[in-house]
Structure 1
């Protein structure tokens, strides 16, 4: 289920950061439990934390077993949720804009009186949730490539740093693949940039479908991509790389314009720094490009 959180035509409906921080954007609430809940919700702009706060409040009204929220920026489940017999769904709407859908589950029936009580809780959440959704959306936009939806260079730098730190801390392994499309420039020259964009989107979708759920793919810009492989050894990493070579070559647009991919692969060594890992993968990619089209080279 998708919801229109922000309008892209000028962003007129999206509050600014300044608007988010002004207290006058919060409606006045009566004293007591209502004010306490609103105050708690104002302490965080994390959707997951807000959901946990609402779940605790709802748990005081009935033996709540499950609470989930569906939003345009993702689905979130309250901590400790377990499936139950009875279910109640509610749409969260603010200023004629659908923010999210809440899904409650309980071993007790949702009577009309309980539904009215839950509606009051939801009303108190609306402004905090709206602000959290705006911030989450802005964060996603800052870390995503707008054409392909893949992580951008900024997101890659942060993810690579975390992956290397975790691998060293837990004596684990990780791998880095750098990819560059062969003959891509001629697509823009022959068919135009719109066709080039279609090809890049097709390549991005193919990589998503080919990689494991634990791997992450990023677009540097142009026709350059990077992939972080978690818990990878040489054999499994090479298998993934060769599978990518095959699947990308089979894309219809790639075949039409004779576009292939070159890949440089490096696995983190015990004595390597983040910069050294990247340099190793980059040098392997350079060797693959020099060896011809549709080649894989592995850093030794």
Structure 2
């Protein structure tokens, strides 16, 4: 494969997406965008939107099938996806700082003239891209646990509310799993907080390796974690909970310090609030801890209370 870059830096190959330059509508939008690309890019700080704008302009130069932006804050793909036979890579560098790698996939090989035009087009993106990356990073810091990188309590509160709205609208299942580490206090007491941090990082790593969607993982603080499952993932929630507990207990760091995990899960019921769902999962977690730890318990589904009317 041919490729080009701003520097000698090379990154791992990341597969891309589908034909984005074939429709008449795309051509019309691209013609409108290309004459004022810098102005268009300045209208948003969303990386996905900037990538879409740029891909439209770049598509006038090269018949694209895919475009992907790889950054320190995540990887982003332009809309419409299929792999192309030719791939080209370019490092986006501003003031000697590498902002991102841009991966093009195309139906045709890139010519030297097309290469120069693409590089000129990328220069127009550098400042808007830098600004978007700064904002995205700040947003991530506000919603992420600083130690483990998992979502924090603020992120969880927002995520569970959105999941509840989606669940009620689409009539799909939602399950909350709460986890608490067993014997974690002894680690801090006997080996210090540095060892405790090592355990928490190991737990986060084990959870990421177990779950496909890491955005559904949260750390509340201390040794308390949560997992939010929706749609198809929720249908196998009990299996997921057992896998999480097993993965944590078998991690070599957790084995070293004698740490395991207990979990409680609750399935969302019709017209149930997020607080009630949380309370039921927390109660199931308590039962798991009381049962001897390193266990999983499922919350009981409470039926609506029956009020008896008695004659005086």
Measured against the shorter chain, the TM-score band is 0.7 to 0.9
Q: Distance in 1 between matches of 2:207 and 2:86?
A: 40
The equivalent residue for 1:68 is 68
- Give yes or no for contact 2:33–2:57 (8 Å, CA) kept in 1: no
Deviation by residue 1:65-86 (Cα, 9 ceiling, x = unmatched): 2222211111212122433233
Using a 3 Å threshold, how does the CA distance of structure 1 residues 92 and 252 change in structure 2: closer, same or farther?
closer
| TM superposition shift of 1:290 | 3.0
Between stretches 248-257 and 119-128, larger displacement belongs to 248-257
1:141 paired with 2:166, answer no
Using a 3 Å threshold, how does the CA distance of structure 1 residues 255 and 87 change in structure 2: closer, same or farther?
closer
The equivalent residue for 1:169 is 169
Using a 3 Å threshold, how does the CA distance of structure 1 residues 72 and 235 change in structure 2: closer, same or farther?
closer
| TM-score, length-scaled by structure 2 | 0.80
Q: State the SS of the aligned residue for 1:294.
A: coil
Q: Distance in 2 between matches of 1:61 and 1:251?
A: 50
Between stretches 255-264 and 53-62, larger displacement belongs to 255-264
Using a 3 Å threshold, how does the CA distance of structure 1 residues 265 and 119 change in structure 2: closer, same or farther?
same
Using a 3 Å threshold, how does the CA distance of structure 1 residues 81 and 258 change in structure 2: closer, same or farther?
closer
| TM superposition shift of 1:213 | 3.5
Deviation by residue 1:17-68 (Cα, 9 ceiling, x = unmatched): xxxxxxxxxxxxxxx9877111100000011111111111112223222222
| TM superposition shift of 1:212 | 4.1
The equivalent residue for 1:206 is 206
| Equivalent residue pairs, number | 271
Q: State the SS of the aligned residue for 2:294.
A: coil
Q: State the SS of the aligned residue for 2:201.
A: helix
1:40 paired with 2:40, answer yes
Deviation by residue 1:187-206 (Cα, 9 ceiling, x = unmatched): 01111111111111111111
Q: State the SS of the aligned residue for 2:36.
A: helix
1:85 paired with 2:85, answer yes
Q: Distance in 1 between matches of 2:216 and 2:33?
A: 43
Give structure 1 regions of 4+ aligned residues with deviation exceeding 3 angstroms.
32-35, 212-215, 232-235
| TM superposition shift of 1:284 | 1.6
Give structure 2 stretches of 5+ with no counterpart.
1-9, 12-31, 301-312
Q: Distance in 2 between matches of 1:271 and 1:164?
A: 10
Question: Counterparts of 1:1-300 in structure 2 under 5 Å?
Answer: 36-213=36-213, 216-231=216-231, 236-300=236-300
- Give yes or no for contact 2:33–2:40 (8 Å, CA) kept in 1: no
Between stretches 99-108 and 187-196, larger displacement belongs to 99-108
| TM superposition shift of 1:264 | 1.5
| TM superposition shift of 1:239 | 2.0
